């Protein structure tokens, strides 16, 4: 792997060689996000005269002001202007923040959007790391990698709680707008899906197939985003996949997808289904916003988001699930998915769809309440929201089963989940 330090003016080494590097407890100086504090990323288009290229603003205390072991909130706000720039490109650039920050030696980055997690090592601090270096990297690499579509990049790093909260609220509105761009589309409307192999540096066999009704499992890329990414970079990680012959309409399997995944996983994955978590599910990488797991005792499934630290009825916490599933394998009975995907039309439809959902963390359930109600009603179960158990009901199958029976949860009378 090549280490490029040449044109990026930061005191640490920089390049893909450092991408997989971890920052472990003993070497940790400070961290943000990861369920401890809020860490949010947003890329927004700006007018040419609104921003100054290369300007980096640190608004609040910097990491040098922190004690070893401290946590701090962080908002990374990138503004981009360019004659060729369109707001459709925002999610694509925003998703680059993950690997670009990871390229900095001694800095670790996990996640995306409003669930990011950054760990800063003591060794980076010794070399003189400051938050400004994140801005320097994003400015330099965005110019280098997206020269055709942008002219100016300005970065603001917020570390005061009130500012981070404000940015987070703005960002959530933006994420919502982006997510709903594909809301009216159906998989049947298109002949072409898109691949995403951006995560192969961490999960070498992992390929997301992004369809209108299945956003990428990180939640950051939907079908529109992948199409725009392909337009910007035709040889990049997002390639069109002609669906080709449909091999299984119920489970969502196509010959074109299988052929693509087989090649892109270098022969490791011969096929997968877009609409099932029970039979040959899609591969999962560590970025997933949520992981769904079968609960055979309830004839249903559960899902858990990255931001819920507690126990779950499948017997594993999110971090354990992510550790087991996140390496890029297809693990029958489990699948990584985005939050938005839970209420998309094809979510595990081959297994019975959202009507199988018997447990979710309260926080996640409440976050997408309106959408669960709407989708439940579409599926003939308007009361679904109140039938889904959460941690206040129980955290084992035995604890939640009486609740499901009492509410008359539809999963209990569906055909057996394990066939
Ligand atoms: Fe792409 Fe999937 Fe990784 Fe998201 S999780 S960046 S869609 S490969
Ligand atoms: Zn990933």
Residues 152, 270 within the same domain: no
CA of 401 to the centre of ligand 2 (A): 33
Please indicate, yes or no, if residue 8 is contained in any of the structural domains. no
CA distance 44 to 406: 47
Q: Does 267 lie in the same domain as 334?
A: yes
- Rounded Cα distance between 233 and 105, Å, is 27
Q: Same domain for 90 and 200?
A: no
CB of 217 sitting under 6 A from ligand 1: yes
* Cα distance between residue 88 and residue 292, in whole Å: 29
pLDDT, position 419: 72
Same domain, 190 and 319: yes
Is there an atom of ligand 1 within 6 Å of 304 CB?
A: no
Q: Choose the final residue of a domain: 181, 196, 226.
A: 181
Residues 190 and 151 in one domain: no
Distance CA 119, CA 106 (A): 8
Residue 43 is assigned to a structural domain of this protein = yes
CATH code of the domain in which 20 resides: 3.30.1650.10
Residue 379 and residue 248 share a domain: yes
Structural domain that includes position 81: 16-181
Q: How many helices (H) and strands (E) does the chain have?
A: 11, 17
In a domain, 406, yes or no: yes
**Is the CB of 198 inside a 6 Å radius of any atom of ligand 1?**
yes
Task: Supply the CATH number for residue 254's domain.
Answer: 3.40.1470.10
CA end-to-end distance (rounded Å), the chain: 46
Bridge partners for 108 per DSSP:
119
ipTM: 0.99
Q: Are residues 67 and 188 in the same domain?
A: no
Residue nearest to atom 7 of ligand 1 (CA): 216
Statement to judge: residues 112 and 218 lie in one domain: no
Looking at residue 5, its pLDDT comes to 41
Number of domains in the chain: 2
Residues (pLDDT < 50) of the chain are 1-5
Say if residue 102 is in the same domain as residue 66: yes
- Per-residue model confidence as pLDDT tens digits over 96-111: 999 999 999 999 999 9
| Beta carbon of 220 within 6 Å of any ligand 1 atom | yes
Query: Would the CB of 199 count as within 6 Å of ligand 1?
Result: yes
Among 128, 146, 181, identify where a domain stops.
181
Atom index in ligand 1 nearest the CA of residue 197 equals: 8
Give domain status of residue 256, yes or no.
yes
């Amino acid at each position: 792997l090549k280490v490029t330090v040449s044109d990026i003016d930061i005191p640490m080494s920089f390049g893909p060689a450092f991408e997989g590097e971890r920052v472990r407890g003993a070497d940790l100086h400070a961290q943000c996000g990861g369920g401890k504090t809020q860490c949010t990323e947003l890329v927004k288009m700006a007018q040419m005269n609104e921003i100054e290229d290369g300007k980096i603003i640190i608004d609040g205390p910097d990491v040098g002001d922190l004690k070893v072991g401290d946590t701090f909130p962080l908002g990374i706000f990138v503004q981009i202007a360019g004659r060729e720039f369109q707001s459709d490109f925002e999610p694509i650039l925003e998703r680059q923040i993950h690997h670009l920050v990871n390229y900095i030696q001694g800095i670790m980055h996990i996640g995306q959007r409003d669930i990011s997690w950054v760990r800063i090592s003591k060794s980076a601090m010794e070399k003189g790391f400051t938050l400004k270096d994140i801005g320097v990297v994003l400015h330099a690499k965005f110019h280098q990698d997206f020269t055709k579509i942008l002219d100016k990049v300005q970065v603001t790093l917020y570390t005061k709680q009130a500012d981070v909260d404000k940015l987070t609220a703005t960002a959530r509105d933006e994420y919502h707008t982006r997510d709903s761009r594909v809301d009216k589309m159906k998989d049947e409307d298109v002949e072409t899906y898109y691949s995403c192999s951006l995560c192969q540096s961490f999960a070498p066999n992992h390929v997301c197939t992004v369809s209108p009704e299945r956003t990428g499992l990180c939640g950051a890329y939907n079908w529109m985003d992948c199409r725009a990414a392909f337009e910007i970079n035709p040889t990049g990680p997002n390639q069109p996949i002609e669906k080709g012959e449909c091999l299984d309409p119920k489970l969502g399997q196509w010959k074109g997808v299988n052929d693509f995944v087989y090649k892109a996983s270098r022969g490791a994955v011969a096929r997968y289904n877009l609409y099932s978590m029970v039979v040959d599910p899609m591969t999962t990488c560590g970025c997933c916003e949520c992981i769904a797991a079968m609960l055979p005792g309830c004839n249903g499934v559960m899902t858990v988001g990255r931001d819920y630290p507690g126990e779950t009825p499948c017997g594993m916490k999110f971090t354990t699930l992510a550790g087991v599933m996140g390496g890029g394998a297809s693990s029958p009975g489990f699948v990584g998915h985005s939050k938005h995907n839970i209420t998309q039309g094809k979510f595990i439809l081959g297994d019975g769809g959202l009507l199988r959902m018997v447990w979710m963390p309260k926080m996640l359930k409440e976050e997408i309440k309106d959408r669960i109600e709407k989708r439940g009603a579409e599926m003939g179960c308007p009361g679904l929201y109140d039938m889904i158990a959460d941690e206040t009901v129980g955290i084992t199958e035995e604890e939640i089963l009486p609740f499901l029976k009492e509410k008359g949860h539809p999963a209990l009378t569906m055909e057996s989940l394990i066939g």
